[in-house]
Structure 1
Amino acid sequence: MKILILTNSIVGLYKFRKELLYRFIENKYEVVVSSPNDDPKDYILNLKNNGIEYLETFVDRRGVNPLKDLKLLKNYLNMIKTQDPDYVLTYTIKPNIYGSLASKLLRKKYINNVTGLGTSLQQDSLLSKILKKMYKVSFSKSECIFFQNQVNMSFFIENKILFSDKQSIKLIPGSGVNLEVFYPRKKSLVDKKIRFLFIGRLMDEKGLKEYLECAKNIKEKNKNVEFQILGPFEEKKYKEIIKKLEEKNIVNYLGVSTDIREQVKEIDCIINPSWHEGMSNVLLESGAMKKFLIASEIPGCKEIVINNKTGLTFEVKNEKSLEEQILKYLKLDEVERENIIENCYSYIKNNFSREKVIEEYIKKIS
């Protein structure tokens, strides 16, 4: 059995799906991975050392240049012809569309994972209409389409991109969380400062603007808090914005991490103000480490963070709503915080194990 995996980021694949790849190897499958080379720390080498072949393919994640996308389709066609896999697995938007289309044209079996909708698909625009048609054509012969939340699945069905009675559709708990890797660890910092952390690509759609505005407002009223930021600059404008805020001691930029456990260990509360998610890995991993969670009330977050039970939620794109929940968190006493943290930990442990996701893939391919 030979499996070809197409994705737009080797980092995301390694961090969230390496256990699946290694299970394939254990099952004596031949595994080939194709992605852009965005490897900051030997992820590709680790895959190769475990018997996985790597092929570099450029994917313009956010671009809308049709010539580049046609080139990507041509690359996928050539790759699938050359590799001749039994199954093609695709993740993220462009590999899902063009990888599926190439597989369909070459009559190869393929399985898709919809990791999120993206802003373009949800807008009332010509681009949205084109994307829906492309998904419909590309997914029409899929062996199975995995969705990470119910709202995304319903969107595809309601917009007649998929037909639930004719196609194999399955809801899975995101990428799941490896509970042997992400577990509670003691802080080494012993001061009384309360630390908040934003983790993600630094861009508008991750809610960074709202996070920064709240940091400015709350720091004026409460000096005993620290707002941290961890992640790469997806939109370059934020380099100057964050630099100025650092100079005023409003935020603390931590750079990029190859192991977020080291940063998460030292903070009190994770804030995810994202506009859209498939299923938030940041929330799953941080909750498994017993950190308090505050998140946008959106699909992909609200399945994990149930307001006042497993964390606090706020209205997406609403910095005032986010600020109110941060202030509410600061007013909670230690017992109230710990109860919510424990509820969240148990909920994630019982419902979001990565092993469940792996088993779904193995069942489909077997």
Structure 2
Amino acid sequence: MPQLPRVAGAHLVGSVNQPTAEAVFRLAAGELGAALPRIPDGEVGERFHWILFQGAAFDRVAGLVRAPIDPIVVAGFDLRPLLLDGTVPAAELVFGPLGYAAAAVESHAEFVRLREADVIPAGTRFQVCLPSPLAPVTSFVAPADRAAVYPAYAAALVAELRAIAAAIPAEDLAVQLDLATEFAYLEGISLGGGPLEAFFAAAEGADADALAAEVAQLVAGLADAVPAGAELGFHLCYGDVGEKHFVEPQDAGRLVAVANALGTAVARRIDWVHLPVPIERTDAAYAAPLAGWALPAATTPFLGLVHHEDGVDGALARLVPAREALAAAGVAEFGIGTECGFGRGPAERTAGLLALHREILAAAQ
């Protein structure tokens, strides 16, 4: 029987329900310390609802107009689709700043201050989380215009990443790219407005494996813009609306397929990949596809098996079959996290949830 991999380290996906970046840094470092190789700023402020604030960036683009229908308001944000209005050719669309670089620069200054004050352990990196271009384009652009608008928004995200890299030393920086909408395409479900059609696929009706490869190629350009010396990771996600997935994965198969495809498509080193584990999935069948994990040893898997509802015992039950499957893949070490960010859960739950990571790590040894 292969040697079981060691469980070491925790990963915070991104959102943390605290009022400021300083509060996130202090609480995360205080509860988990060196068990966190990197700490995000919690996606505070306008980023509270992940990408919903990006609608304003689309509104500022000459050549795009909102559909002439009543507002579709979600969490205070208008999700009416945007259309090409014919005044600007799609190839000439230009997005201004998206807000990610400005937020990162501001939070990094606080991160450095707290690290210099020994609140954050030396060697900890500052984690910046960015969506894949596919998520905002799918959320804000009408289906018929998504393919045409996508290149302009993708270029804007690369520009944001380059601005972040210019302002934050590479040795301080860890960049996470969030892939969630991709799994709605892979599962063939509707996020509102009918089943998603993969406008980015080279061939109509591509099977799941081919589509996973297309998804990886789509994000590879953004991933390869992460500078040498910085870390790169991916968060693979089935959504988190009201702490529920948009669909429950049958098993980890599509997650592993996308992870492996990223390993092929991305030219630079991938330092980690985070994958969710649903709370009820303590069975071997869910974890079995992890035996097909094909990324190099330099890429650490983080499994989102921490759930506040059932604590240490539940996490350990989910960990057992996952550990055995990863052993079969030759993985020597993996880490833990929650399924997704927990910035939209109750703020009073945050400290206990961070402490739970520490308790699980201790129990898993």
Q: Normalized against structure 2, the TM-score is what? A: 0.32
Q: RCO higher in 1 or 2 (8 Å CA, sep ≥ 6)?
A: 2
Q: Normalized against structure 1, the TM-score is what? A: 0.32
Find the structure with the greater CA-based Rg: 1
